[in-house]
A and B are shown apart, each in its own frame.
Chain A
Amino acid sequence: MSKAVIRLTDVCKTYDTGAIQVQALKHVDLVINEGEFVAIMGQSGSGKSTLMNILGCLDRPTSGKFYLGEDDVSVMEPKELATVRNKKIGFIFQSFNLIPRTTALKNVELPMVYARQSKTERRRRAEELLARVGLADRGDHLPNELSGGQKQRVAIARALVNQPQMLLADEPTGNLDTASSLEIMELFCALNSEGVTVVVVTHEEEIASYCGRVVRFKDGQLISDLLQEPARPAAGLAGVKGGSDL
């Protein structure tokens, strides 16, 4: 059996909004191993984003343990969490979250800026990744000059730039049309086949069918966790340069 990259034991998350307390996650136990491609599903408000934010070290569980590899995340300082987010995790948002008025290339470089990498290395890698997601010629474009699918591909390039162990994507195709969605999913398949652990939140069964494992939530509880045969193997992605130089 391969190594666990994520280990959640009895994780709860309660939002305290003053008047009412919302239990967004209830006693969740979940282990995700290295190299897995996991879909997280469930109806709206079932706690998927809450889980992803905890996995992405953006938020902390109210109770329970969260191990990232061997490290206990619940005891980490804000500084250490920043380092973890920077080096180990690539996070992809539904709303892309590119920095406005900043070129695609600069956006992709940003995690490397915070990792204190040299300018030449940053430039080289950012260009390489933009090419990987098929946007070699869009480096100088500002976010508002890109289509939704292109924005999401820039965001993926940015998430990959520090070679993270895992990619967390919260409804990455939620704002995209079917063609762009499939392109993004095929990109994830390619990355997964190169060994990157990928966790994707989605509402669409078709998207989930790309994954080898589907975890379902309902009202903050994990209700099913099934392995499946991925519908389509990660294969030649049209227009996107393949390669395992990640």
Chain B
Amino acid sequence: MMMLLENFLMSLQAIRANKMRSLLTMLGVIIGISSVITIVSIGDSMRNFMTDQYKDVGVNRAMVYTRPADGFYMENDYFTVEDLDKVLEAMAGDLVYADLNGWSNGTIKRKTLDISVEMQEVAKHFENIMNVTIIEGRMINDADINGRRPHIVLPEKTALEIFGTAKCIGKVIEMEVEGERQELTVVGVYRKEMSAASLMLLGNPTAYVPYSYIRNVDNYITWALNVYFADDVDKEAGHRRLTNVVARMKNRQPEEIAMHTVAEEMQQVDMVLGSLSLAVGAIAAISLLVGGIGIMNIMLVSVTERTREIGIRKALGAQPWDIKFQFLTESAIISAAGGIIGTAIGLATVLILGKVVDIAVVVNPGTVLLAVAFSAAVGIGFGFYPASKAANADPIEALRYE
């Protein structure tokens, strides 16, 4: 214990005596550690961000459609309003919401710049999956859908764009939808906090309209159903049941029913991002190795340079272990200091980057711990050879060294 402290102090002194050289040696470790931490944390933050985006879209969401084995689509393969009701009825316990996956775009003519309004055509029970905050009025409800009412719920941003205020309940918007003039009454305005990054990824929030007003319910068909499972439904079993229901309805084999789920997509993206950050992280780890070799190089120089000092210490009765320990401590201090500085730089980089792109930063303490432990190991590992060389030096040879 005493020897440890004594060694630590002696090593600090040796490092201080060669400040510039020690710093340059540390640089390798600093760059290695900070890039590993930065890269792995960026990867983790990206994954976390993507997961959040998918959660926002709804992890329980799935799109179902037919994919005929022979490639020939029949009219029956498309989905009607009746199909929607039938599926909802057959899957009563499983689904909390389903619609015909309809979207339309309205254009409000203005003298200078037209305003474009993206609209999601919602069906009954939309409140079950709604994940926005109403700040004025209300959401589209079942009465709107049953009554095919010309109602619209706007995102706050669009309301401000059109009326200059969110307090616009009851006002009428005139717009052109697929070549037809429509008049829609505002029944609600909602707000949704979005970071710059998610705006970029998901686009502007959309307005909501009853599908039954925009579309002619009697002959409206779409190629897919957009459904939301209840939280407590086992995904696999639920998907199987839905596949079977649709297959029976469309006179297709279950294999001919395709399902596109958000959870699946999320997993894939997560996997790609995960392996990407692992690969880049591994490359960064190589720089750690290079840093380690730098330490070894400097320690070898230091041992040679101090051969005479080693000889004196041995003449005074230092055990081989004392000498070895002294040099090991020195390289461990250099690499640990490099590790700590590198960690600080890495963390700072990640935090600043996170602030700049407005993404919640995820720093895995395990990553940091691993990086620092690795750098200490590198220091001790690569310090071992030079230290052993010093420890095994012949005292008289070392004393004669010039």
Contact = CB atoms under 8 A, between A and B. Distances in A.
Interface of A: 53, 56, 58-59, 78-79, 82-87, 91, 93, 97-102, 110-111, 113-116, 118-119, 158, 162
A53 B316 contact: no
Contact of A118 (B2, B311, B318, B322): B2
Given A97-B399, A101-B17, A118-B2, A56 B315 contact: yes
A197 B328 CA distance: 38
A98 B316 CA distance: 11
Contacts of B320: 78-79, 82
Question: Top 9 closest A-B pairs, CB basis?
Answer: A86-B317, A59-B396, A85-B317, A58-B396, A114-B317, A111-B316, A97-B312, A58-B395, A82-B319
B183 to A, nearest CB: 90
A158 B2 contact: no
Interface residues of B, number: 21
What's the dominant secondary structure at chain B's contact region?
A: helix
B316 A110 contact: yes
Given A110-B313, A116-B3, 15 more contacts: A58-B395, A59-B395, A78-B320, A82-B319, A83-B317, A91-B316, A93-B399, A97-B308, A99-B309, A102-B13, A110-B316, A114-B316, A114-B317, A118-B2, A162-B317
Contacts of A91: 315-316
A99 B2 CA distance: 20
User: Which of the listed residues A98, A114, A119 has the most CB atoms from chain B within 10 Å of its own CB?
Assistant: A114
Interface in B70-116: none
Contacts of B151: none
Contact of A87 (B3, B317, B322): B317
Contacts, number: 64
Contact of B316 (A78, A79, A86, A118): A86
27 contacts: A58-B315, A58-B396, A78-B320, A82-B314, A83-B317, A85-B315, A85-B316, A85-B395, A86-B316, A86-B317, A87-B317, A91-B315, A97-B308, A97-B311, A97-B315, A97-B399, A99-B312, A101-B13, A101-B17, A111-B316, A114-B313, A114-B318, A114-B322, A115-B317, A116-B3, A118-B2, A162-B317
Nearest to A117: B2
A82 B314 CA distance: 7
B315 A119 contact: no
A82 B2 contact: no
Nearest to A54: B396
A85 to B, nearest CB: 4
Interface in B1-53: 2-3, 6, 13, 17
B58 to A, nearest CB: 67
Nearest to B392: A78
A114 B322 CA distance: 8
A91 B221 CA distance: 103
Contacts of A58: 314-315, 395-396, 399
Interface in B284-330: 308-309, 311-320, 322
A223 B322 CA distance: 41
A158 B317 CA distance: 12
A98 B399 CA distance: 12
Contacts of A119: 2
Nearest to A86: B317
Contacts of A102: 13
